[in-house]
Structure 1
Amino acid sequence: MTPRLLLTLLVIATVVSALGVVQARHQHRQLFVQLSKLQKARDELNIDFGRLQLEQATWAESNRIDQVARDRLGMTFPRGGETVVVRP
């Protein structure tokens, strides 16, 4: 193999290798940007989930249920004489 041919092959291999490095870095940057966006979306969903859990706990609170039953449905606790015990 002549030195000129060897040098040409080495230059071509170097250029191909450099293009491969550039491609790999570009793909890495794109994937990192995508990862950052997905992590941000995950964080926003976690915040929303926490808010929903807090809202659910508020709606399910026994004091709130009692207040809604009294205000909207007109419900009250039965008095002593209104209670009937049924035995088998």
Structure 2
Amino acid sequence: MKTKAVENNTEQSRLKKMVVYLILLALVFISALMVVFQVFEYRHDYRQLSSFMRERDDLNAEWGRLLIEQQTFGATAQIGTRAVTQLRMYSPPTAQTVVISLPTTSEQKQ
């Protein structure tokens, strides 16, 4: 009777060990899948970050070009305003406009 109880006890302990091993194996497998998933997410996020950084660099370059263009147009208007106010320059009327033409040389006639 004692041997049956011992055998039954050893069977139960083997069964418990087997269940514990299966649970541990399942947990290891699940953690491995989670690692793979995290690496995939990291690579996806890094690719997206790289594309955003490239887009930011392109937009900064375009912003610099637009600032240069704005300064160029602003300088032209500023030069015209200063010419009128400080130097008292103006466009002459047609009556005061003289057109000078250069004499043609014999080489240009041929």
Task: Decide: shared fold, TM above 0.5.
Answer: yes
1:15-54 paired onto structure 2 within 5 Å: 15-54=22-61
Distance across 2 between alignment mates of 1:68 and 1:20? 68
What do residues 26-85 of structure 1 show as CA deviations (whole Å, max 9, x unaligned)? 111112101110110001100110110011011101xx2224886xxxx56232105xxx
Distance in 2, matches of 1:69 and 1:59, equals 14
AA at the equivalent of 1:38: D
What corresponds to 1:77 in structure 2? 80
CA RMSD of aligned residues (A): 2.0
Amino acid at match of 2:57: G
Gaps of 5+ in 1: 83-88
Residue number in structure 1 paired with 2:105: none
- Opposite residue 54 of structure 2, the aligned amino acid is I
| 1:9-33, Cα deviation, whole Å (9 max, x unpaired) | 0011000100011011111111210
Number of aligned positions between the proteins: 76
State the identity %.
5
The normalised TM-score by structure 2 is 0.61
Deviating above 3 A after TM superposition, structure 1's stretches of 4 or more consecutive aligned residues are 67-70
State the AA in 1 paired with 2:29: V
